[in-house]
Amino acid sequence: MAATGKKILGNLQNMDVDLNIARFDPESDEKKPYRQEFNIEVDETSTVLDGLIKIREEVDGTLGLRCSCRSAICGSCAMRVNGQAVLACNTKISDLVSDENKSVNVEPIGNMKLIKDLIVEFDTHWQKIKAIEPWVKTDAPPPEAEYIASNESMMELIGVMGCIQCGACVSDCTVLAVDESFLGPAALAKAYRFLADPRDDANNQRLKDLNEPSGMWDCTRCMQCVEVCPKGVDPMGRIMKLRDFAMEAGYKNTTGARHAEVFSDIIKNNGVLNEFWLPVKTFGMFNIPEMLKLAPIGLKAMMRGKMPPIFYEKIPGSKNITKLFEKTKVL
């Protein structure tokens, strides 16, 4: 991508960029976040972290940030760049600027308490990781050397075990933005790691705990955690698997589980989703409190011509969809 203000230095092209950084000093009189822009010269291979370190070492030594390995391994340099959580050491400035726009916005990751500038507190993150009890629980007698798992089993876990606890998924989770009690994508992905481990004997209790409010059913499937994860852990995919495990184990007493069952049942029988009956059957027609909560939404939809019809006709070929459900045992 073309970069503004290019200069040749050896075989590298240098460019002028403006790093617009969110600042916060808890010891200042103002004690309010503000923004400060720094114009610096970097070469085309420079990362956002390179730019920040250059500012701290050459321009403003008070700039607060975390970093360590600079190789996308430790996860300590996670921050929001242009509104999305990334690893600063793995994000090239040249991919973010152009001749028309040489500004890059840098902020601390979200959904965590701000300490200073780009540094946030991870205490709540680790509390939630600890809450899912991230260790193998087994009823088997202690082995002579170690608990062995098959290669096939561990291959299934490789993806989720690649998590570096950078907090990017937590930062951009839309549920955590409105509900701090939600376990969050990192903790739930970690929970999947132990539920899917054949050596673990605590699946029933784990699923029971995760089935509670603020657990696996509170995810809205916005896919932000998948989008920002630098290691391809796919937290949302792991949460969906947790839900499958729970329903297979008989934990169907939640609104989320009923919603999933009703959704599948409507598609199976009609070939198309009946959006009128989905919430009604999920909550129960005679669940007066929930029906009253839905009434204003239904009224607004009706006034704007968006009210779904009560009755749907089955689509042509709906019998084939029913057969697919039966063959795959999706009930």
Q: Please tell me the predicted confidence (pLDDT) of residue 235.
A: 97
Q: Please tell me the predicted confidence (pLDDT) of residue 2.
A: 44
SS3 61: coil
The DSSP code sequence of 13-77 is: EEEEEEEEEEE--TTSSS---EEEEEEEEEETT-BHHHHHHHHHHHT-TT-----S-SSSSS-TT
The CATH architecture annotation of domain 7-120 reads Roll (3.10)
Strand 78-81 and strand 103-107: the pairing is antiparallel
Residue 77 CA to residue 100 CA, distance in Å, equals 28
Number of Cα atoms under 13 Å in the Cβ half of residue 307: 15
Q: Please tell me the predicted confidence (pLDDT) of residue 298.
A: 87
Q: Please tell me the predicted confidence (pLDDT) of residue 5.
A: 52
Q: Please tell me the predicted confidence (pLDDT) of residue 331.
A: 46
Q: Please tell me the predicted confidence (pLDDT) of residue 81.
A: 98
> What are the average pLDDT values for consecutive 10-residue runs of the chain, which has 331 residues?
50 88 91 94 96 97 96 97 98 94 97 97 97 93 86 90 97 97 98 95 96 95 97 97 95 90 91 90 88 90 89 87 82 46
Structure tokens at 32: 């309010």
pTM of the model: 0.86
| Contact assessment for residue 97 and residue 17, using Cβ atoms and an 8 Å cutoff | yes
Q: Where are the domains of the chain?
A: 7-120, 123-248, 255-328
Q: Which of 54, 56, 23, 37 is nearest to 103 (CA)?
A: 37
Please write down the HEC assignment for all residues of 239-262. HHHHHHHHHHCCCCCCHHHHHHHH
Q: Please report where in the chains the tokens 């009210």 appear, as a residue.
A: 307
Residue 186 CA to residue 178 CA, distance in Å, equals 17
Q: Which of 287, 230, 253, 208 is nearest to 84 (CA)?
A: 230
Q: Please tell me the predicted confidence (pLDDT) of residue 253.
A: 86
For domain 123-248, give the fold. Answer: Fumarate Reductase Iron-sulfur Protein; Chain B, domain 2 (1.10.1060)
